[in-house]
Structure 1
Amino acid sequence: MFFIVGFSNRDEFIKEVNFKCTNCLNEKFELYQVANVLTFFFIPLFKFNKKALIVCKNCKSIYKVKSESLKKILDSSIVTYDDIEEIVRNNNVCPNCGYMIDKNDKFCPNCGNKL
C-alpha cells in the first residue's frame, strides 16, 4: 500500500483593492491569499503559512499585508501604508509610463523620458 502525500503552494485571488504604489504610483491592486497546502492523493487537507499579499497591476510590485488588517481591507477595499508589513518585491518602472526599466537606464526604452 502506498500514499501520495505532498505539499504545494496555492495563490487565491480575493478581490481588487486600492493602494498607492510606492514604485509607480498606481492605485489598482489585487489582493491574494498565499498558503502552503498539505495534499493527500491530490486533495487539499489543510492550509498553513497563510499570508495576504497585494500586487500592483501596473509594475507587479508585491506588498505583504499585516494579518490584523485583513478584515478591515476586506470590508473597505482600501489599503493604507499602516496595513503593510513589508515590501516583498519592488520593481523598477518608469514614473511616466510604468514600463519596466533596468536600474542603470538613463532613459525609458518605452517612452524615451529621462529617468
Structure 2
Amino acid sequence: MKLGIILETKEFEKAWNGFRFANTALKNGHEVQVFLMGEAVECENLTHEKFDVAGQIKVYSEAGGEILACGTCLKSRNLDGTDVCPISTMVDCLEMVVWADKVVTF
C-alpha cells in the first residue's frame, strides 16, 4: 500500500508517533511519503528524553523514506530545506495525496 502522511505538529509525542507509524509501515513493506507543514517543518531537530523525533526521522530516512517540507512554512520560520527535508510545495503535497492509497494526518 502507498501511504501518505501529513504531519502538522512539532508536539513531541504526536510527531514521534507519526514517524513511528511511518517506520512501522516501511518495515512492513509499504511505500511511505511524509509531508511536513506548519510547525512540523521544525521536527528534524526535535529531541526529548522520551520522544526522540529526530531519532525516528533518522531511522525513517535511512530506511529510504521520503520527507517533503513545505517551503512556505520553512520560509516563514527563516529555515532552509535540508537533505533529509527538502523544500517542497503544495503541488508536491497534492501529488503525494493523489499518489497515496491512504493518507493519515498527525
TM surpasses 0.5 = no
Q: Give the structure with the higher percent helix.
A: 2
Q: So what's the TM-score if we normalise by structure 2?
A: 0.21
Q: Give the structure with the higher percent strand.
A: 1
Q: So what's the TM-score if we normalise by structure 1?
A: 0.20
- The higher radius of gyration belongs to 1
Which structure's relative contact order is higher, taking Cα pairs within 8 Å and 6+ residues apart? 2
